[in-house]
Amino acid sequence: MRVHWVDRRASGGNSWRVSIDDALLAVLIEEPRDIAVACCSAVAHVKRWSAGRLDALFRRAPDRVQCWRGLVSALDESHGETFARLWLTDAGVRLEQQVRIRGVGRLDFRVGPNTFVEIDGAQHDPLWTGVSKSSWDSDHDRDTTVAIGGGTVLRYNYRQLYSDWARVLAAIQRVVADDLALTAYRRRHPYRPRARRKRRTSASQVAW
């Protein structure tokens, strides 16, 4: 743990804690980009901070972090989503957040025409014992619905995200490349289900 001292007057005279604004300012000053953006995105999503309040916060921050303002997203529902979004963007992967698919609901990211990425926290595990119900079963049902529609959902847990990112990124890039190639092929050759042909019975075939 690290203690950060601030002027008590800056915190409104409170003797034991500072405001969220002052806490985030300390994060912007002391922490690296990914953590700072994740914290700002969290208050934008959970606390519903306005763009104006975030702008005011960044005006108090050092010049070197001003470029991080454009990276904050209120659509991030967890720090895992923030990290994945930043790292995918760094790798040149174009993405769309919180995409709503008919019959499926929202998915964290669309990274290709028919490729989606989900970042799963502990509540997605079948052994989840939290207050809310595990989403393990419903997640698999949703993935099946996406597959029926011609899409692919790639799911990654936090262990993979933080300990095996190179392989996660390689998998995403491969699937997106295949998706783009298949999408181009489908445009030239639209899918048409083939009617099943009835088998002809030859004269030599005799039913016993």
Query: CATH number for the domain including 156?
Result: 3.40.960.10
Report the percentage of the chain scoring pLDDT > 70: 82
**130 pLDDT higher than 80:** no
Q: What is the DSSP string of 128-162?
A: --SSSPP-HHHHHHHHHHHHHTT-EEEEEEHHHHH
Shared-domain flag, residues 18 and 54 = yes
pTM of the model: 0.82
Pick from 53, 74, 95: which residue ends a domain? Answer: 74
Shared-domain flag, residues 120 and 36 = no
Shared-domain flag, residues 6 and 98 = no
Domain of residue 67 covers 1-74
pLDDT reported for residue 208: 46
Shared-domain flag, residues 30 and 43 = yes
Contact 102, 92 (CB under 8 A): no
Shared-domain flag, residues 173 and 81 = yes
Domain count, the chain: 2
